Amino acid sequence: MPTYLKTPVATVSDAIASRDEVAATVRDVIADIRENGDSAVRAYSEKFDNWSPESFRLSPQQIDEIVATVPEQVIRDIEFVQAQVRNFATKQRESVVDFEVETLPGVRLGQKNIPIQAVGAYVPGGRYPLTASAHMTIVTAKVAGVPRVVACTPPIRGEIPAATVAAMAMAGADEIYLLGGVQAIAALTVGTETIEKVNLLAGPGNAYVAEAKRTLFGEVGIDLFAGPTEILVIADDDADPFVVAVDLLSQAEHGPDSPAVLVTTSESVARAAMAHIDEILVDMPTKDFAEPAWRNHGEVVVVDTLDEAFAVADSYASEHVEVLTAEPRQALDKMHDYGALFLGEGTCVSYGDKVIGTNHVLPTRGSARFTGGLWVGKYLKTVTYQEVTDLGSSAMLGELCGRAARVELFEGHARSGDVRAAKYRGATLSWTEHEFDTVGAGS
């Protein structure tokens, strides 16, 4: 039976009340932009970001001038990380294949994977210039073959985030806008006089951005529903409590509502990690986010066995699961509900966030129970096609279609089959009825 050494302070009702307030604001902004276009976009950019340039879209010359201000080491680091993301995304793309199969003589069924034609890549700003999100959203889209990628990022305290702009340009963005928040999401979805709408939105963001994506889903595709960043660490007696503490706080600093959970078979590791967290928070530069996140959303669970630890971790379906155990690869077989696994002390969630090459746009709030994170496949539409060239096959399928449709009382469907059965009846069959029955039975 699990023992809880620390439980969250924040309640579900608190979260619902906060979301209701956010949703009301988001609805108003979207409605205004839908009606008033660019003028509303500019008004909200002035209100929320104190930003109102002549054009929100950066020209090629402006992009070159901004990139030129970025230190050479930062440029080299961006190149390295984007190469890692591109390499992994390329392997993903290679795993998604088109095919065509002849299921009966002259009956060909096929699958194609077509890139979405226009994607909006949102790269958060606000407090932090989240450069890595440019790699994850734009590079992956380009590997998928998306011809038009529109990148948006907000100014940071009235300043241009030069490194982020560099990352977006180097990733291959076709258009770059210095525009953030709900106004960016709404403009990309409904279109304005100067911003052509897209077909899918990708990328993380704050509660307002997440709510805007949720509200507009259906009018536009989205990568996934996202909430505050989450981390869950599984630890046994072999785990270093200081590493556990550091890694929990590494994600807690994302925001005051970011859950950080420890599930461990060792009470001594748990208590030592909690003590380290208290010590680290004293002078942590991002304490104003990390401390309330840990206080209000942190949890520590002690269990009897690793199997129980894996089961408890699955019940959270956390975005990031870090496995600090003697045999971390056991989690690959034991677990099934998570956004991404980080196996062993040699890796950490921060590697996934920033440098290692897997995508950091991952499911939160339990949605890992039914979806994975952003990958090349999110930018592809898997479609099918059918062709029947054997007239005998078409006649037989027509007869079958007529019978099957009338069972469901769909007379129009039945007649589509009837007309082919009648027109092609008497055509030479290139297979026997016995062979047809065998194939139909799935042999």
Tens digits of per-residue pLDDT, 102-120?
999 999 999 999 999 999 9
- List, in order of start, the domains of the chain with CATH numbers: 28-97+114-223 (3.40.50.1980), 228-373 (3.40.50.1980), 390-440 (no CATH)
Q: What are the tens digits of pLDDT across the range 34-76?
A: 999 999 999 999 999 999 999 999 999 999 999 999 999 999 9
Let me know if 320 is a catalytic residue: yes
> Residue 14 pLDDT > 70, yes or no?
no
Q: Give percent of the chain above pLDDT 90.
A: 89
CB 142 within 8 A of CB 171: yes
pLDDT at 17: 58
Q: Above 60 in pLDDT, residue 431?
A: no
Active site residue 434: no
pLDDT, one tens digit per residue, over 83-92 is: 999 999 999 9
How much is the pLDDT for 432? 54
- pLDDT, one tens digit per residue, over 289-340 is 999 999 999 999 999 999 999 999 999 999 999 999 999 999 999 999 999 9
Q: Which of 175, 230, 253, 319 is catalytic?
A: 319
Look at 216 and 428; give whichever has higher pLDDT.
216
In the set 320, 322, 345, 360, the catalytic residue is 320
Q: Is the pTM of this model over 0.75?
A: yes
The chain-wide mean pLDDT, for the chain, equals 94
Question: pLDDT of 237-274, one tens digit each?
Answer: 999 999 999 999 999 999 999 999 999 999 999 999 99
On the question of pLDDT at 442 being above 90, the answer is no
Checking if the pLDDT of 15 tops 70, the result is no
